[in-house]
């Protein structure tokens, strides 16, 4: 049996390719939408992808199940658990609908669906048996059910899908899934989760790639509650302190249930000249993406541009700054070369932003403007209608500027009614990176935003310097 983990550092998301080497057939579990990586891995090992599935209707990224099936002819498998409200849409009519105990066979490899609700009602985990070596499962692909040191949060249906107090029923389901399914497995079973540290799908995810049933039983925070049968204690700790859910999660839920659009073969990106970009900007026909660091952007950037720093976290930051439900104008990115532009497009596709059409390798010849800033020392005398903290709720609770209001970076663009229609907004994050992304998005939305120099850390340093001087 072949088992490979394909990990996206941007969204802290793991896919798995599992294959029978005797038959040369493979399945991909929880693919992302830029699918070339799976074909490359299969080709490297001389395998054909014949099946594709996913553990549940994801909220944090756009599923590549339909995209991969269309490209390879693989059979789709999706959950048929969770009731009618969580049934996949018509775009999955050709998919095999799986219930608890159903199997997928690839030569010597057997993959058995286990209904493990809690994170979502329809959630499946997959028990993997390598028939060439064993007669019982040795691996469990847990999706967003069990992570290293944590479990999937049950509150996303409230936070991202419009549910009302579904978190309590979800938490009870998680407790039952752990007790009745996970902890009934032998300690040696290897656990392969769908996310790692940095994902917003849990609050304390470990950075290690995998774990075991026995290790989680002994050392996970929830183990003591399961051992004592303390359901309420488990629920209370689980629901306390969950991180902010990004607003784009709601869009992912809807699109993944209906079925993401299949993009197929992508068109070549256009390399623009400065004159061409300038003409498109003057006609307000495109949106410019400045991919430099926030410190570089503050030396001068294209007016009206969005700051999505680098490609490594482009999906994360892009989903904060662009709402494709409301904005479909083409995106032109600053990229050193075509490869970098292609990488940026791939990352943005993972969150359903499909409108990158071209790139320009330099800002030479373009009109630039420096975003407005205010120093911490000047802030008290600076006229502003709102002091906006775009860090998480936990960061804000740990310490914030006097008078600041909190609205996390991933939710700001979707909560414009919480912002003043007139006057200046002064915004900050911890060091300035997240703030630059959000500030650029709010400026495009018509708000007058001034960024606090150095953000929260700059303000803390200024306060310390002031006290020392006194």
Give mean pLDDT, residues 212-231: 98
Tell me the CB-side half-sphere exposure of residue 105, using CA atoms within 13 A.
Answer: 4
Question: Which tokens hold the place of 8?
Answer: 């996206």
Give residue 49's pLDDT: 98
Give residue 440's pLDDT: 98
Show Cβ contacts of residue 137 under 8 Å, excluding neighbours closer than 6 positions.
112, 127, 128, 129, 185, 189
Question: Which tokens hold the place of 326?
Answer: 């409301």
Question: Which tokens hold the place of 155?
Answer: 């509150």
Query: Are 41 and 16 contacting, i.e. CB atoms less than 8 angstroms apart?
Result: no
Looking at the predicted structure, is the pLDDT value of residue 64 above 90?
Answer: yes
Give mean pLDDT, residues 362-390: 97
Q: What percent of the chain has pLDDT over 70?
A: 99
**Type and span of the H or E element at 54:** none
Confidence of residue 364 (pLDDT cuts 50, 70, 90): very high
Give mean pLDDT, residues 95-118: 98
Q: What is the pLDDT of residues 308-334, one digit of tens each?
A: 999 999 999 999 999 999 999 999 999
Closest CA to 253 of 379, 443, 22, 89: 89
The rounded distance, in Å, linking the Cα atoms of 82 and 460 is 48
The rounded distance, in Å, linking the Cα atoms of 354 and 339 is 17
Query: What is residue 444's three-state secondary structure?
Result: helix
Give residue 200's pLDDT: 76
Confidence of residue 161 (pLDDT cuts 50, 70, 90): low
Give mean pLDDT, residues 110-120: 97
Query: Are 239 and 171 contacting, i.e. CB atoms less than 8 angstroms apart?
Result: yes
Give residue 386's pLDDT: 98
Give how far Cα 219 sits from Cα of 214, 215, 226, 227, 330, Å: 9, 6, 12, 12, 49
309: phi then psi, degrees, rounded to nearest 5: -65, 125
Give residue 160's pLDDT: 66
Q: What is the pLDDT of residues 90-105, one digit of tens each?
A: 999 999 999 999 999 9
Give residue 453's pLDDT: 98
Give how far Cα 371 sits from Cα of 74, 111, 197, 292, 440, Å: 49, 54, 33, 14, 9
Helix segments in 98-222, DSSP class H: 156-160, 166-180, 213-219
Say if residue 398 is exposed, middle or buried (CB neighbours under 10 Å; 0-12, 13-18, 19+). exposed
Give mean pLDDT, residues 26-41: 97
The rounded distance, in Å, linking the Cα atoms of 171 and 174 is 5
Query: Are 60 and 249 contacting, i.e. CB atoms less than 8 angstroms apart?
Result: yes
Confidence of residue 242 (pLDDT cuts 50, 70, 90): confident
Max Cα distance, the chain (Å): 76
Tell me the CB-side half-sphere exposure of residue 409, using CA atoms within 13 A.
Answer: 23
Looking at the predicted structure, is the pLDDT value of residue 470 above 80?
Answer: no
The rounded distance, in Å, linking the Cα atoms of 406 and 419 is 11
Confidence of residue 213 (pLDDT cuts 50, 70, 90): very high
Give mean pLDDT, residues 292-302: 97
Give mean pLDDT, residues 430-434: 98
Q: Where are the beta strands (DSSP E) in 163-283?
A: 190-193, 211-212, 270-271
Query: Are 195 and 12 contacting, i.e. CB atoms less than 8 angstroms apart?
Result: yes
Q: Tell me the average pLDDT of the chain.
A: 96
pTM of the model: 0.95
Closest CA to 201 of 377, 383, 14: 14
Give residue 207's pLDDT: 83
Closest CA to 129 of 112, 146, 115: 112
Say if residue 20 is exposed, middle or buried (CB neighbours under 10 Å; 0-12, 13-18, 19+). buried
Question: Which tokens hold the place of 224?
Answer: 């003591």
Query: What is residue 206's three-state secondary structure?
Result: coil
């Amino acid at each position: 049996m072949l088992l490979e983990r394909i990990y996206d550092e941007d969204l802290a998301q793991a896919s798995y390719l599992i294959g029978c080497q005797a038959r040369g057939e493979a399945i991909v579990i929880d693919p992302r939408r830029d699918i070339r990586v799976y074909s490359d891995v299969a080709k490297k090992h001389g395998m054909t992808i014949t099946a594709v599935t996913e553990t549940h209707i994801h909220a944090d990224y756009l599923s590549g199940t339909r995209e991969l099936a269309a490209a390879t002819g693989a059979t789709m498998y999706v959950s048929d658990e969770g009731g009618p409200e969580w049934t996949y849409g018509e775009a999955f009519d050709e998919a095999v609908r799986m219930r608890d105990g159903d199997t997928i066979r690839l030569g010597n490899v057997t993959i058995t669906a286990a209904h493990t609700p809690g994170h979502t009602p329809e959630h499946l985990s997959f028990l993997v048996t390598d028939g060439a070596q064993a007669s019982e499962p040795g691996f469990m692909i847990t999706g967003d059910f069990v992570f290293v040191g944590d479990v999937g949060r049950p509150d996303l249906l409230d936070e991202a899908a419009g549910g009302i107090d579904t978190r309590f029923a979800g938490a009870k389901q998680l407790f039952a899934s752990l007790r009745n399914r996970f902890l009934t497995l032998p300690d040696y079973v290897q656990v392969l989760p769908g996310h790692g540290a940095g994902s917003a799908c849990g609050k304390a995810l470990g950075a290690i790639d995998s774990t075991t049933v026995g290790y989680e039983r002994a050392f996970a925070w929830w183990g003591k509650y399961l051992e004592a049968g303390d359901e309420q204690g488990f629920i209370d700790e689980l629901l306390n302190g969950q991180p902010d859910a990004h607003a784009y999660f709601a869009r992912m839920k809807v699109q993944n249930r209906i079925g993401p659009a299949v993009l197929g073969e992508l068109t070549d990106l256009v390399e623009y000249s400065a004159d061409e970009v300038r003409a498109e900007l003057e006609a307000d026909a495109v949106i410019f993406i400045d991919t430099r660091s926030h410190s570089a952007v503050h030396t001068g950037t294209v007016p009206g541009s969005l700051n999505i720093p680098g490609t490594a976290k482009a999906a994360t930051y892009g989903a904060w700054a662009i709402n494709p439900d409301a904005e479909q104008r083409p995106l032109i990115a600053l990229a050193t070369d075509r490869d970098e532009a292609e990488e940026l497009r791939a990352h943005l596709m993972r969150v359903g932003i499909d409108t990158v059409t071209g790139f320009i390798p330099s800002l030479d010849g373009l009109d630039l403007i420096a975003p407005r800033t205010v120093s911490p020392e000047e802030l008290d005398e600076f006229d502003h209608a709102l002091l906006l903290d775009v860090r998480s709720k936990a960061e804000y609770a740990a310490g914030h500027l006097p008078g600041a209001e909190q609205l996390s970076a991933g939710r700001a663009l979707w909560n414009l009614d919480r912002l003043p229609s007139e006057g200046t907004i002064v915004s900050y994050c911890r060091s300035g990176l997240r703030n630059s992304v959000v500030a650029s998005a709010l400026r495009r939305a018509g708000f007058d935003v001034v960024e606090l120099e150095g953000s929260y850390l700059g303000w803390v340093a200024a306060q310390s310097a002031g006290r020392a001087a006194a």
